[in-house]
Structure 1
């Protein structure tokens, strides 16, 4: 049989099967009724079809293959559109950031750049790198912000205790994390390759502390950074729940350990969506800094300044959720499925907090995109 004849036979069979399916077949089953809890999670004026939005959110809490969702907060056009918590959690629960903290640290650095205390294109102000003949002197602040310093920082190890992150946080680097991270040698030319690294963000946090105070006293360093962020960022945004963690040397653990309620994480996302403005319109960090945070770096089209972008391999995706959502979407992402998804063109911020392993996380993220898809581009 020729290829053409085969194609015609296949097409005829398909049409015949379709006609049979249309004759006397039962209509598709109606979806199950939504619980009162699911309906109450969505505000009356949510900016999307209420029942459909309630169902998508309900699946995050009821489908085991997505992991454990503990909190969802959705903002639409600056207003609360949906909010739901699993048992044992509520609007007063502080959730750990994990790596969502990196994006907060990028804002801290941006404020110091705006104040004239730091310059992104200059060599990073790390004294131990400025010794004659040290190739790390070529590392700029921008390289650190874009995770392309070239330092030997391995985020994940096998076994886990071989990773730079684990060694810094829990083993030989734990008392002075920034010093341990800065002591690592180069494994690539500064600026040439992307390597995601919590160690790098702790170096940024140390640079920020040094820009604010000359003191090496741990308590002074903690107090100065805490008060700066509180006065310049958290209070104007109403993020009253934020608690920051520091190491024994007084360095902010800016890559992984900040704690806040789901609502406050949503406030931070909204601040980024508004290009650095408070709800009252005060410009807390220059809009050009937010633009830089969400501009792809030369070494990674999916990453800006400590912020994930909605490009291929970005926003923690795999092939099953590729090409979802607008290209202008970006995110703060944390270990085990912490997300602050921001979509300026849809005017939404979506916070999901919980616990999902790698397999669950990809499926769960597809569900988050299903929620975002309910909102049109504006």
Structure 2
């Protein structure tokens, strides 16, 4: 007999696979055909069709490697959107059938890097401390070892909390339980209730629950109200004023749980172009249109290897070798050391290579067994640039 937990896991997996399609359909995302823009146009100045467009100025070798992410679907899965920018100018843009420039697609764990930037704004404002105890009420009792956890520990995925990202079987992991199971009504409460399994900064433990704790801290910092609507409004206003409006990311849509906590580890939606704008913001070290929005020191922190995994910084993946026996996130043997990426479930990528002056966005659906091939294709593409 199929148990309740197995039914939950099956439903969760179905939701994981179908969420992007639901969002696309719900947004009415079929782009009308329109003339191809000139090569090198700004993201804000072009209207494109949902079909490949001729790019005569792009070298054939680069264009072929980019197109392969669509044509080699048996190897890399379905690519729904691929954008490439050099020096902030669009040099390649293509969408899969049924998707286009106005399609909002799910971030999955790319949201973690956005959450890190929001945290950085509050640290820069003096409202949070990177190395002070994380302001989580449940951890403040005398003798609670979790009281020593800092924002730095959370951002480095080294809090020491007993979080299990993906269980074996999957329904025994925290991610399914938090997003779709017993923890869904109060995701932060679920994540913050986990006991300490190690000392802070002792081990690397990648966890979406950790990012929800950061989201809870952001909301608590912005408003003292426990009212879910007040919390949502405060976070939406903050994101709008500090990120969406200055970057022009009009499509960015964060999701919230029933308590009004942003699901900052995995569920945001935006168009490929707006994800590219976030990548450009990071490539330009927090500067937009000549105006610094985020301190250089915060970007330096995000892009510095963490103590326990050199392939991970402050809620972002780095093109560095990871510990022995750990699956690589990027391609450190082939690309520049300054390359980094926001990476999400099923193959969502915002890849930034500052030394190449390049930002790449790839969105789609890739199975776990296809990831080595997808990484190889993306490494080929970045190498060709």
- Decide: shared fold, TM above 0.5: yes
The interval holding the TM-score normalised by the smaller chain is 0.7 to 0.9
Q: TM-score, normalised by structure 1?
A: 0.85
Contact 2:160 2:201 in 1 (8 A): yes
Cα offset, 1:43, TM superposition: 3.9
Secondary structure of the 1:93 match is coil
Distance in structure 1 (CA, Å) of the matches to 2:70 and 2:144: 52
The residue aligned with 1:348 is: 358
Q: Determine which structure has more spread, i.e. the larger CA radius of gyration.
A: 1
Distance 1:253 1:319 in 2: 23
**Alpha-carbon distance between aligned partners in 2 of 1:93 and 1:232, rounded to the nearest angstrom:** 23
Query: Are residues 1:121 and 2:92 paired?
Result: no
Give the corresponding residue for 1:13.
none
Q: How many residues align?
A: 334
1:206 is paired with a residue whose SS is helix
Q: Does 1:253 align with 2:263?
A: yes
Determine helix, strand or coil for the equivalent of 2:362.
strand
| Structure 2 equivalent of residue 304 of structure 1 | 313
How far apart are residue 359 of structure 1 and its match? 2.3
Equivalent residue runs for 1:1-378 within 5 Å: 41=53, 43-46=55-58, 49=59, 51-63=60-72, 64-278=74-288, 280-313=289-322, 318=328, 321-375=331-385
Secondary structure, counterpart of 2:355 in structure 1: coil
What is the distance in 1 between the residues matched to 2:178 and 2:165? 10
Please tell me whether the aligned partners of residues 202 and 252 of structure 1 are also in contact (alpha carbons under 8 angstroms).
Answer: yes
CA distance in 2, matches of 1:39, 1:173: 41
Contact kept, 8 Å, 1:242 with 1:260, in 2: the verdict is yes
Whether the 8 Å contact between 1:125 and 1:207 is mirrored in structure 2 is yes
Distance in 2 (CA, whole Å) between partners of 1:267 and 1:232 is 14
Q: 1:226 to 1:165 in 2, by over 3 A?
A: same
Change (3 A) 1:238 1:347: same
1:195-234 Cα deviation digits (max 9, x unpaired): 0000000000000111111010000000110011111111
What are the superposed Cα offsets for residues 73-106 of structure 1, whole Å, 9 maximum, x if unpaired?
0011110010000101000100100000000000
Please tell me whether the aligned partners of residues 93 and 261 of structure 1 are also in contact (alpha carbons under 8 angstroms).
Answer: yes
Structure 1 contact 110–289 (Cα < 8 Å) conserved: yes
CA contact (8 A) 1:153 1:199 kept: yes
Where has structure 1 moved over 3 Å in runs of 4 or more?
37-46, 316-322
Contiguous gaps of at least 5 residues in structure 1: 1-36
In 2: Cα distance, 1:320 partner to 1:112 partner: 29
Alignment gaps of 5+ in structure 2: 1-48
Partner SS state of residue 87, structure 1: coil
Post-superposition Cα deviations, 1:229-264, rounded to whole Å, max 9, x if no partner, equal: 111111111111111100000000000000000010
Deviation at 1:41, TM superposition (A): 3.8
- Distance, in Å, in 1 between the alignment partners of 2:53 and 2:89 is 14
Q: TM-score, normalised by structure 2?
A: 0.84
Cα deviations by residue, 1:247-297 (Å, 9 ceiling, x for unpaired)? 00000000000000001000100000000111x111111111111101011
